[in-house]
A and B are shown apart, each in its own frame.
Chain A
Amino acid sequence: MNARMNHAWRHAHRGRLLPVLALLLLLGGLLAWLSWPATPIAVRASATTPATDSTTVERGRYLATLGNCQLCHTPRGGVPYAGGRGIATPFGTIFSSNLTPSPAGLGTWSADDFWRALHHGQSRDGRWLYPAFPYNNTTHITRPDSDALYAYLRSLPPQATPAPAHQLDWPYSTQAALKVWRALYFEEGSATPAAERDGDLEVQRGAYLVRGLGHCSACHAPRNALGASSNMLDLAGGLIPVQNWYAPSLTNPTEAGVQDWTLDDIVALFQSGRAGNALVTGPMAEVVQHSTQHWSAADLRAMALYLKQLPRTDTPVASTTTASVRLKGTGEQLYDKRCAQCHGEQGEGRRGTDGRFAYPPLAGNRAVTMASPANLVQIVLNGGFAPATPGHPRPFGMPPFVLNLSDGDVATLLTYIRTQWGNQAPPVSTLDVQQLRGTSAR
């Protein structure tokens, strides 16, 4: 009787025991994988001894300008490439590394180590790097370009200050978290993708610049809660976390797509910071200021050609009739009082004596009508200038309104300009403004 019961029990539970064991084994394996320290990935040694001649160093300097490396790797007002600039992320603050040839920087790094970091996102000692360093992009940089960048960084005066330790929340600070993130989102770059191998050489160069050094997708890719995108090279537009600026879609002509622009206008935008009624502002102003205005004419043209031929992803602009008459009344008053002097009574903008727009028109301006109101909120709250460049040396400024307008005022005003003069964009709510204002104190 007892034996039979025992047998029955075993029989009944054998079916459940196996999956539990398998699950435990899987969990154990996962844990081992997560906690196993990474060793440096073997990389093919450079074919030749790293060049240090002035031509290579100069080429490296130009490549670093293409990549805007200096902006993140330099503290405000500090020694170039000394690192230590804090980059705020939703997971904590990352401090950029010292890239000068000192023991605190890349002093002990070889050209192979440098290539491993760019291509695999892995440090010299095998640690995985945090993806605030956009290695989904730098993985597309060629080995000769990596070596030239290395030669340039080796030529800098050494700076002994080490970067401060990152201030990241657990578990994002762990190597295990990075391992998971990489498994999900990192894709090692290969040589030119097959689709482009036969294409136009200039377009290929443009693609290389946009994907690699230009790291455009680092901002222009949509982002999920892990700060990633299923396609990390996507250019469909995304909100830059913490800063709350929206990097508009480069594939959608109603956002920042340039498929319908002339090549000259595209080049002018990156070279001078303005073209037609468009001005670069916010984080893109930094890109123009520190990087693209210094690009060669050939590289600007190559990038323009590539951006112009990107496949379109038109999305119908949601039209709106929800702005109430009441809203229009106060919106109109706010507009007349605060904005009309510069942007015109009908949102037509104002031209300076050079015939160019001093203040951009708001009527028919896609920066006003695109779905995300993030950039409008930032511009109205903080004001600011377009970058001063040789092609646009004395930009007109926009006053900040953070001290004068409440969240409700900003919402009313933005809803007004998004629904006037033929503009048909969704309204902006007080809650939108509250959420987007972020760290902009009143």
Chain B
Amino acid sequence: MFRTFSRCRLLGPLFSALASCLALPTLAAPPAFEDTIAQRTLACTACHGAQGRAAPDGYYPRIAGKPAGYLYNQLLHFRDGRRSYRLMTHMVEPLSDSYLHEMAEHFAALDLPYPAPSPVAATAQELQRGKQLALRGDASRQVPACVQCHGTALTGVQPSIPGLLGLPRDYLNSQLGAWRSGQRRAHAPDCMASIAQRLNDSDVSAVSGWLASQPLPVNPKPARVLPAPLPMECGSADAPSPSAAKRGRP
């Protein structure tokens, strides 16, 4: 406040200074510097929205509240080329397993409200097909239901299965497309790749439309355990051991 005032007095007669005096108070005051993990990860929230609650454009997904194991796996996928987005790879490349794990745990622990789902352009028939795939799957094509892995409430399962609600349809479409084309991969055995490759374009559009139109349940947190075993085997990375953290990744 004092700084703004003195600057205005000094440059008072100049039009540019007048403009800057008018403009400055409208800028949101940046939060003060704190030596925290939230501060360290401002590079992440620049795109993924404040506290990782998603960017408005729909392409940078929400990361807040996703299971830590899932987030950690994705960071490793970007680093090791199983997912490709140049900016993400550039961000995570110089970091150690233990630091990436700490970041994953930080965002996983954030408990933030979800916005209401955006309206989706889909016919009733499409939505019905999407609901069927999500809740019952398609046995004739060996497609398990989404709920079999992603939890009965579709809010994900600890430690490594993500929720499917609260994501924009564009994001769901592009991810399922990437799974089908091999652009997005996971640790072997890559169960989601196998499933996505059994889906066709209209399946993807139907299931993304239905998922994107569902509100979050009262408890939006990932389930602790699945009621039944996974229908297929899925790969995942182990959390880094404390001794590996000390050594640093070669």
Taking CB atoms, residues of chain A closer than 8 Å to B93 are: 286
Contact of A382 among B3, B44, B79, B90 (CB under 8 A): B90
What total of chain A residues lie within 8 Å of the partner, measured CB to CB? 47
CB of A169 closer than 8 Å to a CB of B: no
Q: Complex Cα distance A402/B19, Å? A: 27
Interface contacts (Cβ under 8 Å), in number, total 106
Taking CB atoms, residues of chain A closer than 8 Å to B86 are: 441
Are the C-beta atoms of A400 and B41 separated by less than 8 Å? no
Chain B, Cβ-Cβ closest to A325: B16
Q: Quote the shortest CB–CB distance from A325 to chain B (angstroms).
A: 7
Q: Complex Cα distance A388/B248, Å? A: 8
CB of A241 closer than 8 Å to a CB of B: no
CB of A157 closer than 8 Å to a CB of B: no
Q: Which residues B42-99 have CB closer than 8 A to chain A?
A: 42-47, 79-82, 86-87, 90-91, 93-96, 98-99
Are the C-beta atoms of A389 and B248 separated by less than 8 Å? yes
Are the C-beta atoms of A383 and B248 separated by less than 8 Å? no
CB of B229 closer than 8 Å to a CB of A: no
Taking CB atoms, residues of chain B closer than 8 Å to A286 are: 93-94
Chain B, Cβ-Cβ closest to A350: B33
Q: Which residues A268-285 have CB closer than 8 A to chain B?
A: 285
Q: Complex Cα distance A290/B79, Å? A: 14
CB of B24 closer than 8 Å to a CB of A: yes
Contact of B40 among A78, A332, A395 (CB under 8 A): A395
Contact of A341 among B19, B30, B81 (CB under 8 A): B30
Are the C-beta atoms of A400 and B82 separated by less than 8 Å? no
CB of B202 closer than 8 Å to a CB of A: no
Are the C-beta atoms of A398 and B20 separated by less than 8 Å? no
Q: List 20 other contacts, CB 8 Å, given A76-B81, A399-B46.
A: A65-B250, A286-B93, A294-B250, A326-B16, A332-B20, A342-B42, A382-B90, A383-B46, A384-B94, A385-B91, A385-B94, A388-B94, A390-B247, A393-B98, A394-B40, A394-B99, A398-B43, A399-B43, A399-B47, A400-B47
Name 20 A/B residue pairs within 8 A (Cβ), A-sorted. Answer: A75-B81, A77-B80, A77-B81, A77-B82, A78-B81, A293-B248, A326-B16, A329-B19, A333-B20, A342-B42, A358-B35, A382-B90, A383-B46, A385-B91, A386-B94, A389-B96, A393-B99, A394-B99, A395-B40, A395-B94
